[in-house]
């Protein structure tokens, strides 16, 4: 098969890592091309062909025309779009070529109409299944790769939060909730809200205990995990989150807002309401006070068993093959 993955964000984060890993695996037996923003092109695996693309906006006639000629030149069997903007753009031009269209919903979306136009839709958790009109949909959970070289270490120095510095991640709520916590917190990530969050840390006089570290390489992130007492998910909405799976796979305790597949993985005692300062504050205080007695071994085992890379890749390849072997339009 000739598979084209299309995404458009300008930050290498969860979606980009998802595409990077699945593309690399698929490239062993198929021709795989990634179309992505030029600014993050070099961050993707060198085993896969990559093409830089600047969209000029999802409805730009010039941008859509450029995309059409690019797709025509690639001539893929499958176009797999990731998130809303690439899905919208492919929907605008896909009648002009013969490739089958698979779209993946990675995060929380209010309007799913554009995804319903794809030949097949995959979602990270079951939240959206009933909201989609299409019958051709499947939950393919995110995964955590086996950290072969991971050393859990014995030095547990801080609490950790990881993600793009955007409103959806709820780091502003986490910073406010941390006022009464006498522990070190590292927020690992980059994004457009960095200045705002640094100002918030300063305004709340927490410069001595909350630190924002720029995103690090995939090889370095295990160093942060190895010294973390716990991972905190403060998101307002999520498709995953992937970092929670990575932490649990490594045996790191996690507390989270009720987003994505966290309610399916964590016990209710380790969850709180999203977008709620009081709810997160109470969960933080309770969990940190009894951290030494928290047992999340059932969650560790569930992630290692159910959220596997091989299972996700097998499901995707099966969808691609079934679409290509069918004369029926799935949209």
Element (H, E) at 322: helix 309-324
Q: List, edge to edge, every strand of the sheet that includes 78-82.
A: 49-52, 31-36, 2-6, 78-82, 100-105, 120-123, 137-139
Q: How confident is the model at residue 269 (pLDDT cuts 50, 70, 90)?
A: very high
Supply the mean pLDDT for the chain: 90
Residue 163 has pLDDT above 80, yes or no: yes
pLDDT, tens digit (0-9, with 9 covering 90-100), for 124-134: 878 778 889 99
The answer to whether residues 111 and 89 touch, using CB atoms and an 8 Å cutoff, is no
Which homologous superfamily is 2-143+308-324 in? Glycogen Phosphorylase B; (3.40.50.2000)
CA-to-CA dists, residue 304 to 85, 125, 133, 142, 233, angstroms:
32, 17, 32, 12, 19
CA distance 21 to 309: 9
The answer to whether residues 309 and 143 touch, using CB atoms and an 8 Å cutoff, is yes
Residue 99 has pLDDT above 90, yes or no: yes
Question: Lowest mean pLDDT: which of 99-108, 181-190, 224-233, 282-291?
Answer: 99-108
Question: Lowest mean pLDDT: which of 41-50, 140-149, 274-283, 284-293?
Answer: 140-149
Which residue, 140, 201, 191, is CA-closest to 168? 191
What pTM, to 2 d.p., does this model score?
0.78
158-306 is classed in which CATH architecture? 3-Layer(aba) Sandwich (3.40)
In the prediction, which pLDDT does 327 show?
Answer: 55
pLDDT, tens digit (0-9, with 9 covering 90-100), for 58-85: 889 999 999 999 999 999 999 999 999 9
The answer to whether residues 233 and 161 touch, using CB atoms and an 8 Å cutoff, is yes
pLDDT, tens digit (0-9, with 9 covering 90-100), for 1-17: 999 999 998 888 888 98
Query: Concatenated DSSP letters for 291-304?
Result: GGG---HHHHHHHH
Which residue, 289, 54, 55, 14, is CA-closest to 162? 14
Question: Domain locations in the chain?
Answer: 2-143+308-324, 158-306
Q: What is the 3-state secondary structure (H, E, C) of 42-99?
A: HHCCCCCEEEECCCCCCCCHHHHHHHHHHHHHHCCCEEEEECHHHHHHHHHHHHHCCC
Element (H, E) at 284: helix 277-289
* Dihedral class, residue 163 (left if φ above 0, else alpha if ψ from -120 to 50, else beta): left
pLDDT, tens digit (0-9, with 9 covering 90-100), for 165-216: 999 999 999 999 999 999 999 999 988 999 999 999 999 999 999 999 986 6
Residue 271 has phi, psi (to 5 degrees) of -125, 155
CA distance 132 to 114: 10
Question: What value does the mean pLDDT take over residues 49-60?
Answer: 88
CA distance 111 to 84: 9
311 Cβ contact list (under 8 Å, min separation 6): 141, 143
Which residue, 128, 146, 145, is CA-closest to 137? 128
- 2-143+308-324 and 158-306, same CATH topology: yes
Q: How confident is the model at residue 330 (pLDDT cuts 50, 70, 90)?
A: very low
The residue with greater pLDDT, 144 or 296, is 296
Residue 153 has pLDDT above 70, yes or no: no
């Amino acid at each position: 098969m000739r598979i084209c993955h299309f995404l458009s964000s300008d930050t290498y984060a969860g979606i980009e890592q998802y595409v990077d890993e699945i593309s690399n695996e698929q490239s062993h037996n198929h021709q795989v091309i990634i179309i992505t923003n030029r600014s993050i092109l070099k961050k993707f695996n060198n085993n896969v062909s990559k093409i830089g693309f600047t969209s000029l906006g999802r409805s730009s006639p010039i941008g859509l025309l450029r995309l059409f000629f690019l797709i025509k030149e690639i001539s893929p069997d499958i176009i797999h779009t990731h998130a809303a903007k690439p899905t919208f753009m492919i929907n605008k031009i896909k009648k002009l070529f013969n490739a089958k269209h698979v779209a993946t919903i990675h995060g929380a979306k209010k309007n799913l109409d554009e995804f319903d136009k794809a030949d097949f839709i995959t979602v990270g958790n079951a939240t959206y299944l009933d909201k989609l009109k299409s019958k051709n949909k499947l939950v393919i959970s995110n995964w955590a790769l086996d950290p072969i070289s991971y050393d859990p270490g014995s030095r547990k120095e801080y609490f950790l939060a990881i993600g793009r510095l955007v409103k959806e991640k709820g780091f502003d709520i986490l910073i406010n909730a941390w006022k009464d916590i006498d522990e070190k917190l590292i927020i690992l990530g980059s994004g457009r809200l960095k200045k705002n969050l640094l100002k918030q840390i300063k305004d709340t006089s927490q410069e001595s205990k909350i630190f924002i570290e720029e995103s690090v390489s995939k090889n370095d992130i295990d160093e942060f995990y190895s010294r973390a007492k716990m991972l905190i998910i403060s998101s307002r909405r999520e498709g995953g989150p992937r970092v929670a799976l990575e932490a649990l796979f490594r045996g790191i305790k996690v507390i989270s807002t009720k987003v994505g597949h966290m309610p399916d993985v964590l016990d209710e005692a380790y969850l709180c309401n999203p977008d709620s300062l009081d709810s997160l504050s109470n969960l933080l205080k309770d969990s940190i006070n009894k951290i030494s007695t928290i047992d999340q071994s059932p969650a560790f085992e569930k992630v290692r068993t159910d959220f596997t890379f091989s299972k996700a890749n097998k499901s995707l390849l099966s969808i691609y093959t079934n679409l290509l072997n069918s004369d029926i339009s799935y949209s």
